[in-house]
Amino acid sequence: MYRFSAAIVGSGFMGTTHLEALRRLGVRVAGIACSSAQKAEAEAQALGLPKAYQDYDELIADKSVDVVHICVPNNLHFDMVKKALEAGKHVMCEKPLALNSDETAALVTAARTSGVAAAVCYNLRYYALNFEARELVASGKIGRLFHINGCYIQDWLQFETDFNWRVDSAKGGALRVVADIGTHWMDMVQMISGRKIQKVFADLATVHPTRQNPKDQSTVTVDTEDCANILFRMDDGLMGSFTVSQVASGRKNTIRYEISGDQGAVAWNSEAPDELWVGHRDRPNQTIVKDPGGLSPSAARHASYPGGHAEGYPDTFKHCFRDFYDYLEAGDMAALPPFPTFSDGHRELQLCEAILKSHQQSSWVDVG
């Protein structure tokens, strides 16, 4: 049981997912704030939470709350994070951290000044075998890297009648599929490769220029992308490419990457998350199966169950939050954080802005 207590803002898919992971870790959750007091009351009762906050200000004023988990639409992140930091609360914010890099830069500064722990929930890096892939790259077993490729594809916005607040740039930001899922892919491969994406060349497409809002049957003009292809170069010149899409039929939530070098290759697919493929030129290929007893220490730390016992999406939140709350328990805010930080969140917004600019100019664009 951790001595730090949390409160959650937002009761959608992300809010309840955060709650489940916190409970698995033994973090006390004091209550929840929603878009209205009435909704908070209903959600607190449904979720078995002790308190329904009348509004966000009441949550922030609660001295028993040490950590705020922000799980609301993107356009609300900046103000809520800022208020939490000013109140001396630690913050776990859903991605993206804010709507633009000016806002994220301000939040990086505010977090540093406040002296609290501040994280962005790039949970998908926390599949255990991503850390094993990182170990293979860092140890030199893949050799001098040649290129990286992959994708993050879904189909939940396949039809013109599919709708969500994320299609509205006023709420979600100028980029949708890149910001929503592409940033997860970029965070993952940068963590594994130990390199940063330095320049991009992007091609974005909106396949449904209008969508039908099921709430009022209105036709809504869409100014955010449904899919994208992106070339990139990393800070050491390493080349790569990836595709992101929310209109890829049959692919519910597929993340893939392959990293190739002069001594081998490593590849992973989220549809088989407990298997890591290792490719060779001169001997049979290998499949590493998740088993804490046979993994590197950093990977084994993020594998809770024995071999043959599958771990998946909910477990990534648990492991992300465990890194965060263990850091809080250690009490050294000057130590290097093991979790995705506000600086990581800021860099992802810089990447998004470079990708949008590249698409608009049809040219390579430097990041930052």
Per-residue pLDDT at 186: 98
Nearest alpha-carbon partner for 224 in 96, 72, 76: 96
Whether 193 has a pLDDT exceeding 90, the answer reads: yes
Question: What is the rounded average pLDDT of the residues 113-130?
Answer: 97
214 pLDDT tier (thresholds 50, 70, 90) = confident
Task: List residues bridging with 259 in a β-sheet.
Answer: 148, 266
Only one residue has tokens 């493929």, namely 277
For Cα atoms 366, 367, 368, give the angle at the middle one, nearest 5 degrees. Answer: 120
Please name each of the domains of the chain with its CATH number.
5-123+335-340 (3.40.50.720), 127-308+347-361 (3.30.360.10)
Axis crossing angle, helix 13-25 with helix 313-330, rounded to the nearest 10? 60
Per-residue pLDDT at 352: 97
Whether 106 has a pLDDT exceeding 90, the answer reads: yes
Per-residue pLDDT at 218: 92
Beta-carbon contacts of residue 292 (< 8 Å; ≥ 6 apart):
128, 300, 303, 304, 305, 306, 307
Encode pLDDT of 326-349 as tens digits: 999 999 999 999 999 999 999 999
Whether 22 has a pLDDT exceeding 90, the answer reads: yes
Dihedral sign for Cα atoms in the order 325, 330, 334, 337? negative
- CA distances to 132, 134, 139, 264 from 283, rounded to whole Å, are 20, 22, 19, 10
% residues pLDDT > 70 (the chain): 100
Task: Please give the torsion angle defined by the CA atoms of residues 100, 101, 104 and 108, in that order, rounded to the nearest 10 degrees.
Answer: 180
Whether 171 has a pLDDT exceeding 90, the answer reads: no
Whether 12 has a pLDDT exceeding 90, the answer reads: yes
SS3 254: strand
pTM attached to this predicted model: 0.96
Question: What is the rounded average pLDDT of the residues 4-28?
Answer: 97
**DSSP state letters, 78-122:** HHHHHHHHHTT-EEEEPSSSSSSHHHHHHHHHHHHHHT--EEE--
β-pairing, 145-153 vs 365-366, is unpaired
What are the residue ranges of helices labelled H in the chain?
A: 13-25, 37-47, 56-61, 77-86, 101-114, 128-138, 169-172, 177, 183-193, 297-300, 313-330, 342-361
SS3 144: coil
Task: Please give the torsion angle defined by the CA atoms of residues 54, 58, 60 and 62, in that order, rounded to the nearest 10 degrees.
Answer: -110
286 pLDDT tier (thresholds 50, 70, 90) = very high
237 pLDDT tier (thresholds 50, 70, 90) = very high
Q: How far apart are CA 322 and CA 332, in angstroms?
A: 16
**DSSP state letters, 255-292:** EEEEEEESS-EEEEETTSTTEEEEE-SSS--EEEEP-G
Q: Are 342 and 107 in contact (CB under 8 A)?
A: yes
Whether 215 has a pLDDT exceeding 90, the answer reads: no
Per-residue pLDDT at 252: 97
User: Please, what is the average pLDDT of the chain?
Assistant: 97
% residues pLDDT > 90 (the chain): 95
Q: How far apart are CA 273 and CA 290, in angstroms?
A: 8
Question: What is the rounded average pLDDT of the residues 99-103?
Answer: 97
Question: What is the rounded average pLDDT of the residues 348-367?
Answer: 98
Q: Are 351 and 174 in contact (CB under 8 A)?
A: no
Whether 169 has a pLDDT exceeding 90, the answer reads: no
Nearest alpha-carbon partner for 179 in 219, 225, 235, 217: 225
Q: Are 311 and 66 in contact (CB under 8 A)?
A: no
Q: How far apart are CA 215 and CA 192, in angstroms?
A: 42
Task: List residues bridging with 233 in a β-sheet.
Answer: 199, 239
Per-residue pLDDT at 353: 98
Exposure of 115 by Cβ count < 10 A (0-12 exposed, 13-18 middle, 19+ buried)? exposed
Per-residue pLDDT at 230: 98
18 pLDDT tier (thresholds 50, 70, 90) = very high
Whether 165 has a pLDDT exceeding 90, the answer reads: no
